[in-house]
Structure 1
């Protein structure tokens, strides 16, 4: 932008005031970072400082005597010459009592947000003035000082924050992959007044949907094909949902369609058959055809239905029968299916015996610190050595443990076994390793838990800083009266670390990070598995890692299986990983052997067929977590 020479540049000389060479006031105005303009009561520019010249791209010589609206407003907002001729500042107007934010345009056509303040000055206050101004009857001895500040960055930031808030609120009630409602939205819907009335009137039905052989799709075609299949099912359900219905994804391959205003069993079964046929239409994906099959369990509100949760449970039991009966069919709940409850009761009894007889053990999965390519710790994962069924994974019994009020007992057993394992690692010379343990809401809510954990650490001569307690986001959302902030604070005062587990599974994780202090997060495998195929997911993952770094928080990426995922996480400066690519969960004795045989690891570490993942100790029959 051309600049006036100091000798030719207009001086700040107010009408009726004695001219001076370079008064202090003008020097101050010239060095302000904010723009300042002096205009008369008709809005014409008398003077402006250099900061304003730089802000709008015009020199004082170009605009003095002109109205700013002639050139700084966008063309479609500029007033007509007639309106400009009529313009006058009103001394009693509200303009002088507030800030004004407007979108303005520079000389080069670029736009910016301008925050303006207006002040009225009277020339009687100027030394040497006779109070008559320059003879302009419109001036009445008054001028307007306009302060200008470019707040474009602030406006952009606030807009981004508003968008992020909206996205977080949406994410809190919707599934990330399909866009359908999640469990939190389902709970709110089922407890709403209209739905409660439908239940009382017997005019609501539930369809519980589960994909048939979904694991085979993932195993044979990959997770991208699995994601496409889930979206295909979500679209089919949405097409068959009415305006008052709710379509919800409740789990990995599990969906619910709540059908409002359905009066008869026949009407509900007709809807279910439509869904079955719609989703059965083959899915074309990546030059391949995927045949999608589903099973449906149906239930209908009756005179004895006490709640929406009971209705969903009945549909779930009907679904169990549909899958056991050959899949690809719809089964309506009957009293006969209620016998399934007795089977659950049997599992509950066996689980109580397991707690009493300590039929559990922990498997350890190592964690790799990427900066040094060293094993820094392990996660302890509970297993049930069932006397008849063999080794059972948590997914088989934890839900029943929750229903049977045994989850806290299982957690305390797991805690002690994990600390025993850490002590065994110590005795083998691995004094630097840490141990991550999972904690459910019943244990987290127990005021005695920190004391019991402290005693367990001291009795084994273990430092609290070598233990990380992992809390699921679902524990935070479904904790009821649990004061998570207080519970986390008690643990951190003890000296143990606290991490947020399964981060990125569709809940409002960012809100949890700001709600209470934690030491780290574990990125869920559902995010990690899409790193190579989803650019947006890569951006989100990198941003989360960077954000945690700024907050001084650790990050562990779980479920890392491929070299591509490892490379992406290295470039993103992810501190730590765990997953099948490194090693599968294994018994404590096997972990000790694995460490003796595999350490030190090569640096940089690469996942190969001859690497840690393929080692016999990796126990290929044990699932990830």
Structure 2
């Protein structure tokens, strides 16, 4: 190898060597790229060949399935065999002779795979004949289908054989590619090793020798020499280094002699300038700094190198100040004054100002005049002097009292504000102890703690109640600090205080307003949270449980709305007093807001001890209330939880108490319930149901069914009720009694009601156009939906106009709760709909308050007798009398009557005899789909073609 390298023609310059190296690397890279390109083309051809064979296999299966489907259902499926045959033949030709198919470019298969391809083509011909025979065979023929399946199976096997051969061929090609890659890698390694050998001999070795010589020179060994041939740049560099080393050695000898002489002078000067007090400077005749010690640089905030590089002295002063300094310097430079001392304000590098004291003397430097001197920072001294003067002014003029005492508390000095606050003059208090101001409000332990703090920490701060000279008490905020001598002993105590009597009163008032309810003076929600946390901490420490009772007044809203807010506020105040009277002194009563209260019953020996208090609260709250102008009756529903049994934190306790309170309301109000885990499970079930309800509304999972309403005399279907149905994928059929109240509570009743309105009116428009142009519809509106600010009557009227339906085609059906809870906005919406031509129906009549004022105030058109009166209807019983009375009363008022829940012939006969107008129930028909209901109407219309009764469709959610 070495002899071969010596015989090779080698470039002489580094530039030519670099060019040769780049050429060899580029040549090596080009060879690698060409070989990898060849391997990639072979890989792409194999992938395309396999892909094309797979498409032929899939196409054969697709043809069979399509042919079978078209044979069985010729009207539903379209079979295009010629197009598939052409695709298969095109793929076979590409594999056999090379070419393109399905957008894939492939070469002809290897000779070893051609037999498998020929066998596949033979099987294809048989398969094609079987397909053609199946297309010509009748639909019921099965022999041809069997032949197709057999031909398909053979063709699939032949295709699998071809693909297996392709896979084996691909494996062979991969092994060849791997062997070629390994050979290429070996060749690359050999060439790189040869290149490194040449580079190490011709470049790296000379550079290493030059580096060693430079390292020797850096360490002071200038006698080292490097013998390299002068044929290239490295050789010339070696010669230059040898010459430089000889010159440097000579210069170092001369410098060493001069350095010895200067060292003695420098030692003396350094001893003067190396201090941490004064900054030493040297100015030339141009008043530029040519020397500065470290202390001066630190003092002025500059780097020392900056200051010593002919730094203009003018930059250290403002223009006005520098004018004075320049005049003083000229006196010394001109020899009129030898030295000077004065104070000025200088500018630091960051622009801040410092006070300095300047000393300067005249000297001669290199036969030219110069000034040498010192600058001392006197900023702190100036600040201290100013601070002393300012402190004296503050001491005399501050509005806060200041008092200085000796270590034993004897007064040494006071300021004028002390006299203004305490009434005692300096002459009256100096020499006496501060306890002459004591009000007697603080015990001995308080003052012992004060002196202990002064002894341990040197300071104390807090509020103290003192007595004025005139005898009046006042509250001060006192801060005491201690001044010590240099030996650590106490020099004096300094007290600073201000009268905070009014401030503390205002703070107490603000705190009370923030933590107590202004109406009942009970703790508010914020104070309740703090007390609840304190109760939990005490219970954990003592091990005794406590009870949290959540109270919600029953019927308070009715009282507030009926008699006004003044009467409601008075009612809340009386309730608060009764609750406080029912609990112990250790218990806590709070108002969370509105008509919600809480009781925290502390230190229970056993959980049952809270129950008598709850009963006492129920009895007390239920007693009559004498308000300013009215006597009212209310009750309360309560939920009871216990710590730690029902929750480990305040959030859980309050949530569980709220659940228990709602359980008490569901049981009929005026009672209390203890929390059980089942309540939380019910709440969770409600949350999940609400989630599913929202999803069902978004995805349109609701449907409408219709139940006929018949005329009592003719038994003809003239009305219908649309019932909302929800078929949930997991829950199955969900009852409206479950999801309608939840929709009202969550606000989903608005969009849900609008959906029902739109679906029902579209169905109404269809039936009126097809069956009866006088068909009517009644829309049942939820109280929450009607009271919502988003519900606009004009929106419904516009929808009817878009469907070309008159407003008289609809009736708004209301429950008594809508009428009881209606406000001005609700009444305005109802009046808008009535003016537009709609009628009103009152549902479930007889189950609520059934006030006749509702019928008069809103001009009701229909009454619906609740099914609870119809279920047990028999001749002569009490329900019969009630139904007859309702019917007679309604007819006297011009109102027509609909009876719900008719399920027997006897009920129908009794109601018809009593004069009831319409009936609805299972006896007539169960709720049915729109299609079935339409069929029923068509059948009845065909039987009663000449009868045209007014029709009403009622929508009930």
What is the TM-score with the length of structure 1 in the denominator?
0.46
Higher relative contact order (CA 8 A, sep 6+): 1
Q: Which has the larger radius of gyration?
A: 2
What is the TM-score with the length of structure 2 in the denominator?
0.31
- By percentage of residues, which structure has more helix? 2
